[in-house]
């Protein structure tokens, strides 16, 4: 496979893991976080430091990094999930910026603004692909589980969900921690693919990009969110030759979809055997009608 294509696909699959976490948080519960990229940073730096400084095996370093990020997520999420949705985005934004500032100042440990170098390149396209498939499958399983259905219920009407006996705070926390775990794991893969990380790559803009990808494909559809992430994360790489115009094209495409199709590319449609069967049946009827016409 061409090296450029392999590079683009690997980065796209790593992004898909993070976006599947955003879908769980935003698509299922309606919570907005502008600090999720900070958990990606935690996964990247913790795993990188464990391997470089402590000589911990990669797999164990990855597990410890995800566990550490999830623990921090619990500390942050415990008070945050009790807030209104607009306040959640503000608090997580502040948390994300605080992590970026902390990484900039810890010069002796993290390299500060110069970044963390010397991370061995242990991640390639096969691992990124398998990880993305498993992350999407986990998000799909969560959506169809009891907790996923409760998330959808409280997203529609939190007071009604409480009246039905749903522990809203607990369900929100579970969704938030799953999102944190997925995002931090994407950070582990990113660090060991790029072999270098720095604080500028984990600002609130990256978190906002992930939210845009979810809405672009369809906030109520995991299939749509995955498609949106694939298109929008690959597009800047594909348009790299149009250096002066690629972000303009990117922005115009996003604005067109959000204005003329507010529910996203796929709306609420999911890639399931039943939906595929119905789709093929409709296509078959259209082809038959054309032939008869």
Write the pLDDT tens digit of every residue in 44-89. Answer: 999 999 999 999 999 999 999 999 999 999 999 888 888 777 788 8
CA distance 122 to 59: 10
* Helices 168-194 and 36-52, axial angle in degrees (round to 10): 50
Q: Within a 10 A sphere around the Cβ of 101, how many other Cβ atoms?
A: 11
Question: CA–CA distance from 110 to each of 41, 106, 107, 113, 119 (Å)?
Answer: 11, 6, 6, 9, 12
Q: Which residue has the higher pLDDT, 205 or 75?
A: 75
Buried b / exposed e along 243-259 (16+ C-beta atoms within 10 A):
eeebeeebeeebeebee
Read off the pLDDT band of 128 (50, 70, 90): very high
Every domain of the chain and the residues it spans: 3-292
In contact, 45 and 61? CB cutoff 8 Å: no
**Tokens (6 digits) for 227:** 């498609």
Q: Whole-number mean pLDDT of the chain?
A: 86
For the segment 8-24, what is each residue's pLDDT rounded down to a tens digit? 899 999 999 999 999 99
What would the CATH number be for the domain defined by 3-292?
1.10.3470
Q: Which residue has the higher pLDDT, 279 or 141?
A: 141
């Amino acid at each position: 496979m061409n090296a450029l294509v392999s590079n683009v696909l690997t980065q796209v699959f790593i992004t898909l893991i993070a976006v599947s976490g955003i879908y769980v948080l935003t698509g299922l519960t309606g919570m907005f976080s502008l600090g999720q990229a900070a958990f990606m940073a935690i996964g990247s730096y913790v795993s990188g430091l464990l391997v470089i400084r402590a000589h911990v095996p990669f797999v164990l370093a990855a597990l410890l990094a995800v566990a550490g990020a999830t623990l921090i997520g619990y500390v942050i999420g415990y008070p945050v999930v009790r807030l209104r949705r607009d306040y959640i985005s503000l608090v997580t934004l502040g948390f994300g910026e605080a992590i970026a500032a902390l990484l900039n100042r810890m010069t002796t440990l993290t390299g500060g603004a110069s970044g963390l170098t010397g991370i061995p390149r242990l991640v390639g396209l096969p691992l990124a692909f398998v990880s993305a498939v498993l992350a999407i499958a986990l998000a799909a399983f969560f959506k169809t589980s009891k907790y996923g259905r409760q998330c959808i219920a409280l997203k529609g009407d939190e007071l009604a969900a409480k009246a039905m006996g749903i522990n809203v705070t607990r369900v929100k926390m579970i969704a938030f921690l799953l999102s944190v775990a997925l995002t931090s794991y994407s950070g582990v893969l990113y660090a060991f693919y790029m072999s270098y990380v720095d604080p500028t790559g984990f600002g609130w803009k990256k978190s906002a990009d992930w939210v845009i990808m979810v809405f672009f494909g369809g906030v109520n559809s995991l299939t749509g969110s995955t498609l949106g992430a694939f298109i929008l994360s690959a597009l800047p790489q594909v348009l790299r030759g149009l250096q002066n115009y690629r972000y303009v094209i990117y922005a115009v495409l996003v604005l067109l979809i959000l204005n003329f199709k507010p529910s996203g590319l796929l709306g609420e449609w999911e890639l399931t055997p039943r939906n595929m069967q119905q789709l093929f049946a409709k296509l078959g009827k259209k082809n038959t009608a054309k032939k008869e016409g």
